[in-house]
Chains A and B, each alone.
Chain A
Amino acid sequence: MAHSTKVMYRQTVDYEEHQNPFLVHSRTYSQQYSQIYYCRLAALRQVVEDSARNKWTGNVLFIDRLLHLQQGNNCVIVGVIYKEMDLKPSILKEYSKNPAEPVPILPVKPCFISDSDVVILEDETGRIRLNFDHCDLSAGTLLTGTVVAVKGQETSSGDFSVDDICFPGIPSLKIPYSLDNDIFILFVSGVGLGAPWNVSMREALFLDFVSGKLGNEEDYEFCCQVGHLFVLGNLLSCAGQETLAMKSQEQPTVSGPQQLLNAEPLISADRFLTTLSSTIPVTLLPGEADPTNLLLPQQPLHHSLLPSSSKYNSLRRVTNPYQCCLNGRKILACSGQNVDDACRYSTFDWNSVEDRLTVMENMLSLRHLCPTAPDTLPCYPYYEEDPFVLKECPHIYVVGNQPAYGTRLINSNGVGVRLVCVPDFSTTGQVVLLNLRTLTPQIMEFMIDLN
């Protein structure tokens, strides 16, 4: 058995990050949420109008502002969708039960849809109720916060009867340059360190795989082709996040250093990342459960929390959402809150990956990453621009912490766009590999058979 000590090198990926629009440098909170809708509408109004003019030719009247709407005309209006839904979590309802509660944490229903929902279109000048009685479209899949054009007429009762609806459409993108070799990007999400039920053996297997310690030479060679790792949020478990929230409820003022938090999960996260970063370039997105701010975009994890791993240049701590360019392929990555929240607005099945892919596809076509923010998805109160508006289409749109693996290739003017749902690792043990050359994803599962 001649074991030649062959040195193998991991393939390098050409990584480009232009200025990250999701970094928030100075924060003020004296403004309100209206500005972000205003900016969103301003950014997308022309786009959706152009798209509508392409879709509806012939005798239709384009109304520039809602207030100029006249009864009875067949016309097109543009605005932001707002859905009134009784099942949305409402702090006011909570207060009517118990006004003494400081600011209670509200239970969030998995679906907000009910019979009493009302769909409204709003612009800077007013709002109007949409009714879908005379069209085949269902209001069920519309999302609050999306900019759309609707065609129809105002009825005598003051509603707008919708005939058809038009989205901005997927933005165009360039065909990426072709690659000679297969090169893989690895995606993992929801590792969930620190959860009591955590199966740490699986994480160890995963680490071994990434560092090439697993399997035979073939596997080892394959491993060298994996050029980059994305950790798509929830590296820590939400069990930890609950205690975080509870602690701050009990102690809402910073009164001294007496009480030390349970640092255990963070230490294991640091160790986990150190191991990874020493063998592969890592991009780390925070997720809902990770120790950073709550409002989207979530900011990169602070270096003091990860003292050891943050010394590695190969670890990039980035925002959620995040976008960059790998070998000329644009990647848009989120850790999943946007898709989860959007699913609550529709009749979609919470656990259906196909439905989730449709939500992702719709987001591209709506040109917005998290339309339901700020209404039901907390986000920073932007007042100069809405950074979540998609100016260009990514080649790869990947979302973490999903109930299961799923993928779809969609076609945007002849260019393929790859959508990927990356499952939650702590419950599935699954990670996703994506071939940058072909944009084909594959799933990989780490199982430990205890028998």
Chain B
Amino acid sequence: MAIAQFLLRRLGLAIITLFLLSVIIFVAAQLLPGDVGRAILGPFADQRAVDQLNEELGTDRSIFVQYGDWIGGVVTGDLGESYAFRRPVEELLWPALRASAKLALLAFVIVVPIGIVGGVAAALKEGRFRDRFISIGGLSATAIPEFVWAVLMIMIFGLWLDILPVTAQAPRGAGFFTQVEYLLLPALCLVFVLFGYIARMARAGTIEALDADYTRTAVLKGLPRRTVIRRHVLRNSLLPTIAVVATQVGYLFGGLVAIEFIFNYNGIGQLIYRAALQQDFPLLLSATLVIGVVYLVATLVADLLYSLLNPRIRLASSES
């Protein structure tokens, strides 16, 4: 019952958040210079043709009408038609989302275990060389933006060593491993950015658990160190880390724009970038909204995971 109530409340909040998000994007998009027709037809097109196109697309109407039109469609499940591609937004959106999900998933699968293991390894040697190395290294890697990593990666692995493709888009019909090979460089860039963050969380949680009285109890029971760490320390220290990791899924999707652009990958980031350039409102708005949804779902999953894994929350009201 408590869970259902919790979910309902979160759903309500999510709807409000998404609505506000759509308003902000819409307003921001209106602030872009130029008009839609001009953006599509180019600087040398005849003004009459531009006007005609604007009329055809409905972009000559007031922004309130445009927004109402669009949001009305979204509510009924119709995301509208892309101005630039003249195709339903859905047809463009879902393949791009799928492509981005592949990239994000690969990055995630690599960074989570490495981040957690790195953080725990650092915590176990707190203050020693290994800790310094992992902590400072992780922090530095995080501090460098992903597009800088992208350029570095391309130079090292793509041009210099020439062992990995410099674009992310695998040829049509490529098998699983080929796809992974193509996605590896962009995924690594994301890994570098996220590693420091996850490792820091895992390290802090582990240090706290190592210091806790219950860990002392476990040690004084005479348990081997491995058992103490595995059963008593990690179980408590990784709880907050898992929650943080789940939240990062949202960040991953948001952070794809630069990476997808540099690696020329047809994901949602690239789609948003193009839509913004061409003032393709229906596409831009819908794509951004989708990222918003991913973000919200990720946060919700994080919270649910945390309360499911933590008996103190899970069983809070089952006192006998």
**Do these two chains really belong together in a complex?**
no
Residues of chain B having any CB pair with chain A under 8 Å: none
Residues of chain A having any CB pair with chain B under 8 Å: none
